[in-house]
Structure 1
Amino acid sequence: MTKRSLFGTDGVRGLTNTPPMTAELAMRLGAAVGRYFRRDQQEHRVVIGKDTRLSGYMLENALTAGFTSTGMNVLLLGPMPTPAVGFLTHSMRADVGVMISASHNPAYDNGIKFFGPDGFKLSDEAEVEIERLLNEGVELAAPQNIGRAKRIDDALGRYVEYAKTTFPNSLRLDGLRVVLDCANGAAYKAAPAVLWELGAEVIPVGVTPNGHNINENCGSTSTATAAAKVREVRANLGICLDGDADRVIILDENGEQADGDQIMALIASSWKREGRLKGDTLVATVMSNLGMENFLRDEGIHLERTAVGDRYVVESMRKNGFALGGEQSGHIVMTDYATTGDGLIAGLQFMKAMVETGKKASELAQVFTPVPQILRNVRYAAGKTPLEADQVQQAIADGEKQLNGDGRLLIRKSGTEPLIRVMGEANDQGKLDAVITQICKAVESAAS
Structure 2
Amino acid sequence: MERKYFGTDGIRGRVGEGAITPDFMLRLGYAAGKVLGKMSGEKRTGRPCILIGKDTRVSGYMFEAALEAGLINAGVDVGLLGPMPTPAIAYLTRTFHARAGIVISASHNPYHDNGIKFFSAEGSKLPDQVELEIEAALALPMETSKDLGKAHRIDDAAARYIEFSKASTPWNYSLDGLKIVLDCANGATYHIAPKVFRELGAEVHAIGISPDGLNINLECGSTKPQQLQKTVIEQKADLGIAFDGDGDRVLFVDSNGELIDGDQLLFLIGLHQQEFLGGCKGIVGTLMSNYGFELALRERNIPFERAKVGDRYVLEKMSANGWMLGGESSGHIICADASTTGDGIVAALQVLRALSDFGEPLHQLKSRMKMLPQHMINVRLGHRNGVLDHADVKAAVSEAERQLADSGRVLLRPSGTEPLIRVMVEGRDSTQVEQLAKQISSVVERIGNG
| Both structures adopt the same fold (TM-score exceeding 0.5) | yes
SS in 2 for 1:214: coil
User: Structure 2 CA distance, aligned partners of 1:366 and 1:427?
Assistant: 15
Gaps of 5+ in 2: 40-44
User: Structure 1 CA distance, aligned partners of 2:378 and 2:279?
Assistant: 34
SS in 1 for 2:305: strand
Matched, 1:187 2:181: no
Q: 1:424, 1:432 within 8 Å by CA — same for their partners in 2? A: yes
- How much has 1:390 moved relative to structure 2? 6.3
Which residue in the other structure is 1:137 paired with? 140
TM-score, structure 2 as length reference: 0.90
Q: 2:106, 2:114 within 8 Å by CA — same for their partners in 1? A: yes
SS in 1 for 2:210: coil
- State how many pairs are aligned: 437
Q: 1:242, 1:248 within 8 Å by CA — same for their partners in 2? A: yes
Matched, 1:347 2:345: no
- How much has 1:386 moved relative to structure 2? 6.0
- How much has 1:312 moved relative to structure 2? 1.4
Matched, 1:201 2:203: yes
Which residue in the other structure is 1:388 paired with? 384
Of residues 174, 177, 194, the one that matches 1:175 is 177
User: Structure 2 CA distance, aligned partners of 1:426 and 1:10?
Assistant: 31
- How much has 1:423 moved relative to structure 2? 3.4
- How much has 1:302 moved relative to structure 2? 0.6
User: Structure 2 CA distance, aligned partners of 1:320 and 1:392?
Assistant: 29
Matched, 1:314 2:308: no
Q: 1:37, 1:96 within 8 Å by CA — same for their partners in 2? A: yes
- Say if 1:240 and 1:277 are closer, same or farther in 2 by CA, change over 3 A: same
- How much has 1:230 moved relative to structure 2? 0.3
- How much has 1:5 moved relative to structure 2? 2.5
Which residue in the other structure is 1:411 paired with? 413
Matched, 1:211 2:213: yes
Matched, 1:127 2:131: yes
- Say if 1:168 and 1:377 are closer, same or farther in 2 by CA, change over 3 A: farther
Q: 1:402, 1:435 within 8 Å by CA — same for their partners in 2? A: no
Matched, 1:91 2:90: no
- How much has 1:128 moved relative to structure 2? 2.1
User: Structure 2 CA distance, aligned partners of 1:421 and 1:100?
Assistant: 31
Q: 2:222, 2:250 within 8 Å by CA — same for their partners in 1? A: yes
Q: 1:174, 1:200 within 8 Å by CA — same for their partners in 2? A: yes
User: Structure 2 CA distance, aligned partners of 1:331 and 1:226?
Assistant: 18
Q: 1:31, 1:138 within 8 Å by CA — same for their partners in 2? A: no
SS in 2 for 1:112: strand
Deviations 1:325-380 (A, max 9, x none): 111110110111111111111111111122222211101234311222234568x9
User: Structure 2 CA distance, aligned partners of 1:418 and 1:17?
Assistant: 25
User: Structure 1 CA distance, aligned partners of 2:116 and 2:261?
Assistant: 26
- Say if 1:213 and 1:399 are closer, same or farther in 2 by CA, change over 3 A: farther
- How much has 1:98 moved relative to structure 2? 0.7
What amino acid does structure 1 have at the position aligned with 2:92? L
Deviations 1:394-429 (A, max 9, x none): 6954652551343211313247x9986553323443
Q: 1:392, 1:443 within 8 Å by CA — same for their partners in 2? A: no
Pairwise mapping of residues 366-377 of structure 1 onto structure 2 (< 5 A)?
366-375=367-376
Gaps of 5+ in 1: none
What amino acid does structure 1 have at the position aligned with 2:50? V
Of residues 65, 71, 82, the one that matches 1:67 is 71
Q: 1:32, 1:138 within 8 Å by CA — same for their partners in 2? A: no
- Say if 1:337 and 1:231 are closer, same or farther in 2 by CA, change over 3 A: same
User: Structure 1 CA distance, aligned partners of 2:176 and 2:244?
Assistant: 25
- How much has 1:125 moved relative to structure 2? 2.5
Please say which of residues 420-429 and 150-159 is displaced more in the overlay.
420-429
User: Structure 2 CA distance, aligned partners of 1:325 and 1:36?
Assistant: 31
Percent sequence identity over matched residues? 44
Which residue in the other structure is 2:231 paired with? 229
- Say if 1:422 and 1:72 are closer, same or farther in 2 by CA, change over 3 A: farther
User: Structure 1 CA distance, aligned partners of 2:219 and 2:126?
Assistant: 32
Matched, 1:298 2:299: yes
- Say if 1:189 and 1:411 are closer, same or farther in 2 by CA, change over 3 A: same
- Say if 1:321 and 1:390 are closer, same or farther in 2 by CA, change over 3 A: closer
User: Structure 2 CA distance, aligned partners of 1:75 and 1:418?
Assistant: 42
Deviations 1:30-73 (A, max 9, x none): 22221111117941011111111111111111111121111111
Deviations 1:129-181 (A, max 9, x none): 222222x3256452x31111121111111101111111222221111110100
Which residue in the other structure is 2:81 paired with? 77
- Say if 1:302 and 1:392 are closer, same or farther in 2 by CA, change over 3 A: closer
Q: 1:408, 1:426 within 8 Å by CA — same for their partners in 2? A: no
- Say if 1:45 and 1:296 are closer, same or farther in 2 by CA, change over 3 A: same
- Say if 1:354 and 1:150 are closer, same or farther in 2 by CA, change over 3 A: same
SS in 2 for 1:388: coil
Q: 1:47, 1:85 within 8 Å by CA — same for their partners in 2? A: yes
User: Structure 1 CA distance, aligned partners of 2:133 and 2:278?
Assistant: 37
- How much has 1:317 moved relative to structure 2? 2.0
- Say if 1:73 and 1:371 are closer, same or farther in 2 by CA, change over 3 A: same
User: Structure 1 CA distance, aligned partners of 2:447 and 2:46?
Assistant: 56
Which residue in the other structure is 1:326 paired with? 327
Which residue in the other structure is 2:42 paired with? none
Which residue in the other structure is 2:49 paired with? 45
